[in-house]
Amino acid sequence: MAIRNMTTDEKRWQAEGDAHTLARAQEVQGDKSRMSAARKVAATQAKELQKQTTAMQNVARKKTPAKPARKVSTAKKSSGARSKNSGKASRGGRRK
């Protein structure tokens, strides 16, 4: 991240955070079991990201087909039943 356009306090807070991050990284790197576990998790996450990358690449290469025509419902409403909205104004229009 670029440090420009930051106040003096923001730069100091960022440096403090970076120092803590680097100290934690050294702790992990110095502990064989933690480092091994971190590598296993990193490998698993890398595989998952690779799957997502492949899927995105496939989407980017494919041309999307035209949308199929919308089916018109052939079901008939019963003549005596009133719908919930009968007699009420529709969202965008006036009552008729």
Q: Residue 37 has what pLDDT?
A: 98
Which pair of structure tokens corresponds to residue 25? Answer: 């990284």
Is residue 11 in some structural domain? no
| % of residues, the chain, pLDDT over 90 | 57
Q: Residue 12 has what pLDDT?
A: 97
Q: Residue 70 has what pLDDT?
A: 75
Is residue 48 in some structural domain? yes
Is residue 80 in some structural domain? no
Is residue 3 in some structural domain? no
Is residue 38 in some structural domain? yes
* Buried b or exposed e, range 1-38, using 16+ CB within 10 angstroms: eeeeeeeeeeeeeeeeeeeeeeeeeeeeeeeeeeeeee
Spatial separation of the C-alpha atoms in residues 1 and 13, rounded to whole Å? 14
Kindly give the parts of the chain with pLDDT less than 50: none
Is residue 71 in some structural domain? no
Is residue 40 in some structural domain? yes
Q: Residue 63 has what pLDDT?
A: 75
Is residue 95 in some structural domain? no
Total structural domains within the chain: 1
Domain that holds residue 44: 34-59
